[in-house]
Structure 1
Amino acid sequence: MVASGNTYKEKVSQLISWGHWFSFFNIIAAMLLGTRYITHSDWPATLIGQLYLLLSWVGHFGFLVFGIYILIIFPASFLIPSQRLMRLFGVLVSTVGLTALLLDTYAYQTVDLHLSPLVWDLLLSGDKTELNANWQYLFVVVPVIFLFELMCSEWVWRKLRKLTRKHVGGPIALVFGVCFLGSHLIYIWADANLYRPVTMQRSNFPFSYPMTAKTFMEKHGLLDRQEYTKRRAEQGVQNSEFVRYPISKLSFNDQGTDQNLMIIMVDSLRSDMLTSTVMPNLTAFAQNNLNFTNNYSSSNSDATGVFGLLYGLPSGYINSIRAEKKSPVLLNTLQERDYNFGLFSGENFDLPIYREAIFANTKLAVTDSRHARDIESDSHAIKDWDHWLSKQKSNKPWFSFLELTSVQQFKEGEHYKPRFTPSLGSNAINEKGVDSTLLLKNSYRNAAYHIDEILGRVFAQLEAKGDMANTIVVIASNHGTEFNETGNNTWGAGSNYSQYQIKVPLIIHWPDHSAQEVTRLTSNLDLVPTLMESLLNVASANTNYSSGVSLFDNNKNRRWLLAGDDSDIAVVENKQTTVVDKYGNYNVYDKNYQLEDEGKPKLSTLMQVMNELKRFYEPRHNQDNDK
């Protein structure tokens, strides 16, 4: 057949027919390798989920391999005149493809990521990590793959006439087409209805981008976007992984120091507000106590920032903690030690994380209910705190948590007068030529000054009652606020991991500790282990219940800190910040949060970070048994 003097048209036709059948057998090989993704992923519990898995398994790998044929091998059939050379080219292409697929399955089973720039860098780095320790041995099977492809190519060429006569090519193509289209239609329905047995499979296979149609459905009245967003947030909690928190039961040396503890969380306060002009009371307080001037929040948003502060855990665990309603080990221990609790908030603890997890096992002594909802404020919260403190007896320790929210709102005119002008509360807002950014910043400073006056009252009350000598006072913040200082049109919080959004004050009054300014890298994650070790005298290692370290451990001069949310990871260092998304793509920013085009993260550090983000989860087989 080959040597019979066929015309160019006949040769091309034979090579195209060969290419179709050669691709078919490579689809089967890819599907067999693809079972490694299935065995490593959660098995869908419903019939529809299992049907989607079957359809996507067949349709996706069929589309993937056939796409490579159409893009590479099919055009080459017209350009390479020799059938032997053309078949060798096809064998080489398919060998590279199956080898890449094998590497991808290894990466997926090792770090739950598909091949990406980050994973490639990890594979090719000289660092000794879990991922690149054994991957070179995978290339031992490359000659085997090559021989398989060579044999498959030769067999298909020899049997081409017989295979062509069977006329089964059309039905086979129809099966793959139906599976591909059917899987995407099922996913469109599942995505709109948040049907998790299907949507949880979104990223199981490489280059998997299932179709969605939310915009189309919303346009035609088939989807309520607000209700959909609410249900999606709830589902993220309901279907989170199980956590071991703490990893094992805690042990203690003794009952602790019995000192009182007060944590004041100032919402949205960034670290550069700590000046004698904006916050004179807090600045003076910081100068006379422990002032951690290079401190970062664990996140850049409200709920995740509070979560990191009170749990000492990275933000990625927040949904699991909410689902299991696990309160912080710090608060649990304080309750076991019979501390009196007083919990107060300028917003009545509106964040769901408070009631669903942090204070789930605590009777909330929230801001007095006589204050109407529309006039909730820090001023009312501090009045109720004053009243509560006056009832505390000296022979029993107490714990107080005070959330102040004026800085987040920075509204003027209702509860305090502006000190810095022009601002949103002054007449300048209606004047032309006034810089709107200056108005916002001054309003923010005014709110910070108002908070500072409240803090002055707190300090004075503690001194007047004689509690300051036996009370640990912590002033912290859940995140900062940006006014587009990075030049990337980013405002407020939750939009990046620059110092303006995550660098926050941390000031601690600890009786018998001398005043000190601490300039080394510290994190809000460090507060819990500090209190557990030095107030409550825990004997268990801090790795058992936290990702932080004690602030009093001067040997822990860390090179990096962990921040982020439930989808992004941020690794903060003195001179750069690396942000990695859930697909393994990363960007490196300099200390001014400007993108470094050639920036490279330290890969061994990223592996440590990724391990920390999985350390508190239950092993997969334990989760399956619980389900």
Structure 2
Amino acid sequence: MDRRLFFKQLYIVSVFNILILLIISRTYSNFLIDYNDFFYSFYYVITTLSHFIFIGIIPLLLGIGVYFISKSQLVSKIFFSVFSIASLIFLELDAQIYSQLRYHLNPLVFNLVFGKRASDTFQFSNSTICLALLYLMIIIAIQFLFYFLSKRIVLKMNNLHIKKTSILFIVILLISNLIYAWSDVNFYRPITQYRNVYPIFFPLRAESLLVKLNLVDSLEIKKNNSINFGSSQNSIKYPLQKIIAEPKKEKKNILFLVIDSWRADYMTKEITPNIYNFAHKCQVFNNHRSGSNMTTGGVFSLFYGIPATYYSAFTNIKKSPVFINEIQNQKYDLGIFGSSTLENPAFNNNVFSSISNLRLFSKGDTPSERDNTITQEWMWKINQNKTNPFFGYLFFDSAHGFDYPKNYKTVFNPSLEQVDYLELNDNYNPSKLINRYKNSLYYIDSKIGLVLKQLDAKNLLKNTIVIITSDHGQEFNDNKKGFWQHGGNFSPYQINVPMMIFDSEKAPQQFNHLTLHYDIIPTLMNSVLGVKNAVSDYSVGQDLFNVRNRDWFVCGYNQKYSVIEKNQITNIYESGLYDVVDLKLNNLNKEINYEIVSKAFVDVNKFYKKRSDEK
């Protein structure tokens, strides 16, 4: 085929693929706040067209580039087809992930879902796998159809108006970027929201130029930029002061029983009967929040007592928590039993990084099998324990995977036979899914019941501090905003979790003041381990029993987090943008509370070295 005709054929195939990309783009459009005016509608049209056309022409440009290198139409066509198929698969996968988690596909998300032992955390049903394979085959088949149609079109149409359409594309792309650049420096939310919603969207930003031209208010820019919590510093100063402790003569055992994805209102007599009955012997905190809406940040905040905005910085240098260091110093016998792998998320490189010969994964093909494994192995360990006080961490994962054993006699019916995550949308009726979730919690409760029964039978409860809680909550589109499971927002459904402590020296009691994951380690460090330092040396929390009123706290992970207040949530995005919503995620269209956000800035930068520290 003539070279010009060949390029035209690739161009037409690209146009067909762009139409598919625009269809996929409708998924993202559902998560844009519609401001219902002409300017917003105009920007939506030109930006959606220009952005997804741009994604669609990347395979075309790469294919043409390969042709000039190889001089082969066949090689060029193969590369072009592979790039086109890859872009369509990537965008569809990203759209599905974003619709449920509000995260775009990036190295972190990819590693969590597809990385090492990711199946410990994420399970995909056979129907989901079959649908994915079917989608792949359809995309490949469609490419053949597009080539067939493009060949006929090329032979029948002499003028495809490529130059005119290219000029039009460049014009709308330029207009879209200029509008964004103006909106960015003026913090005009209807436009800047696109940067968080659309994938691989990197619009023009021209703050310095617009300031020089006196087209914007530089003081307003400075004020708004103060909320960008991102830190480029790699130096950590944690703890702020050396930990000093006077260990107790009679050391108490410490046991953490953590249930993945356990929402606060599902600790009931019906769902978790063993825990519910045990709670009558505990100090129960009814208004408790995790430090994050996902496992990574939830477990981090639990053991460090600081926001998980430090997660990557601490992981990169394998900085372990002062709590773990102290129990090692005091010769505790450690038992770390994670149902899901400790490599993904990489708790072996932060929370438990100081522990040698760390048990990284559990035997079993399903979460329920692994939950059973950690229960049996822990109980065996307790039977072997002789003299040293013990520290135990059991992390149960069945509720995260909506899992329980085959032929398990379910209590909550009808229960969904198999979870298909692709079905979770605004129109999905979650009643059967919720029953499956309740059954998985009921199963976990039975395992925790065995653990508690053993401690009681061996007369160990009287000298053991037992903490029962979760890493984060679980949502079933409760706010009718299209959010499912966790990791997507910071509403109460995703961050409120059960929390109780058993201490035989304390009378059972119910507390209703606001408590946080940040408070657990300070409480144990002071009352159990005899640490003399001020809490502020190593944590942003306080003693759990301190009823001091809190107006706000930071919740999140790395650069996706929020400042939570009593009646509103200020979401801070990695891009530096923000929005303010109420607790039901309705947009409030208001400015942030700069006084509170400035205080939050201190918390998320407190343990980075200052220049004065390095002199």
Q: Quick check: TM above 0.5? A: yes
Q: Give 2:438's aligned residue.
A: 445
Q: What residue identity is the alignment partner of 1:590?
A: D
TM superposition shift of 1:102: 6.8
SS at match of 1:399: strand
Choose which of 394, 404, 407 in structure 2 pairs with 1:402. 394
C-alpha spacing 1:113/1:345, structure 2 compared with 1 (3 Å): closer
Choose which of 597, 600, 611 in structure 2 pairs with 1:606. 597
Q: What residue identity is the alignment partner of 1:259?
A: K
SS at match of 1:242: coil
TM superposition shift of 1:362: 0.6
C-alpha spacing 1:416/1:380, structure 2 compared with 1 (3 Å): farther
Partner deviation per Cα, 1:44-64 (whole Å, 9 max, x = no partner): xxxxxxxxxxxxxxxxxxx99
RMSD value, Cα: 3.3
Q: Give 1:385's aligned residue.
A: 378
1:591 aligns with 2:583: yes
Q: Give 1:550's aligned residue.
A: 543
Choose which of 318, 323, 345 in structure 2 pairs with 1:330. 323
Choose which of 335, 344, 357 in structure 1 pairs with 2:350. 357
Contact 1:367–1:381 (8 Å) recurs in 2: no
Q: Give 2:506's aligned residue.
A: 513
Contact 2:402–2:437 (8 Å) recurs in 1: yes
Contact 1:286–1:507 (8 Å) recurs in 2: yes
C-alpha spacing 1:298/1:516, structure 2 compared with 1 (3 Å): same
SS at match of 1:613: helix
C-alpha spacing 1:344/1:563, structure 2 compared with 1 (3 Å): same
Q: Give 1:58's aligned residue.
A: none
Partner deviation per Cα, 1:345-388 (whole Å, 9 max, x = no partner): 22243423221111111135538876578985101110000100
Q: Give 1:559's aligned residue.
A: 551
Partner deviation per Cα, 1:527-556 (whole Å, 9 max, x = no partner): 1111111111111111110111110223x2
Number of residues paired by the alignment? 405
Choose which of 578, 598, 620 in structure 1 pairs with 2:570. 578
What is the alpha-carbon distance in structure 2 between the residues aligned to residue 325 and residue 492 of structure 1?
30
Give the TM-score normalised by the residue count of structure 1: 0.59
1:100 aligns with 2:217: yes
Which ranges of structure 1 fall in alignment gaps of 5 or more residues?
1-62, 69-92, 115-202, 204-235
Choose which of 279, 282, 286 in structure 2 pairs with 1:289. 282
Q: Give 2:532's aligned residue.
A: 539
Q: What residue identity is the alignment partner of 1:306?
A: V
SS at match of 1:569: strand
TM superposition shift of 1:585: 3.5
1:617 aligns with 2:608: yes
Structure whose alpha-carbon radius of gyration is higher: 1
Alignment of 1:44-443 (within 5 A): 97=214, 100-101=217-218, 104=221, 111=226, 113=228, 241-255=234-248, 257-364=250-357, 366=359, 376-393=369-386, 395-414=387-406, 416-425=408-417, 436-443=429-436
What is the alpha-carbon distance in structure 1 between the residues aligned to residue 539 and residue 212 of structure 2?
46
What is the alpha-carbon distance in structure 2 between the residues aligned to residue 372 and residue 583 of structure 1?
39
Q: What residue identity is the alignment partner of 1:471?
A: T
What is the alpha-carbon distance in structure 1 between the residues aligned to residue 570 and residue 327 of structure 2?
36
What is the alpha-carbon distance in structure 2 between the residues aligned to residue 240 and residue 375 of structure 1?
41
SS at match of 1:288: coil
What is the alpha-carbon distance in structure 1 between the residues aligned to residue 405 and residue 472 of structure 2?
25
TM superposition shift of 1:278: 0.8
What is the alpha-carbon distance in structure 1 between the residues aligned to residue 432 and residue 223 of structure 2?
54
Q: Give 1:49's aligned residue.
A: none
Q: What residue identity is the alignment partner of 1:336?
A: N
What is the alpha-carbon distance in structure 2 between the residues aligned to residue 398 and residue 96 of structure 1?
66
Contact 1:412–1:424 (8 Å) recurs in 2: no
Q: What residue identity is the alignment partner of 2:411?
A: R
1:502 aligns with 2:492: no
Alignment of 1:443-522 (within 5 A): 443-522=436-515
TM superposition shift of 1:275: 0.9
Which ranges of structure 2 fall in alignment gaps of 5 or more residues?
1-176, 183-209, 422-426
Partner deviation per Cα, 1:572-614 (whole Å, 9 max, x = no partner): 233332222245543333333333234x543311111111111
What is the alpha-carbon distance in structure 1 between the residues aligned to residue 318 and residue 444 of structure 2?
31
The answer to which of 583-592 and 492-501 deviates more is: 583-592
Q: What residue identity is the alignment partner of 2:217?
A: A
TM superposition shift of 1:474: 0.3
SS at match of 1:408: coil
C-alpha spacing 1:94/1:523, structure 2 compared with 1 (3 Å): closer
Partner deviation per Cα, 1:327-349 (whole Å, 9 max, x = no partner): 11101000000000011122243
**What percentage of aligned pairs have identical amino acids?**
30
Contact 1:486–1:594 (8 Å) recurs in 2: no
What is the alpha-carbon distance in structure 1 between the residues aligned to residue 405 and residue 211 of structure 2?
70
Q: Give 1:54's aligned residue.
A: none
Q: What residue identity is the alignment partner of 1:558?
A: R
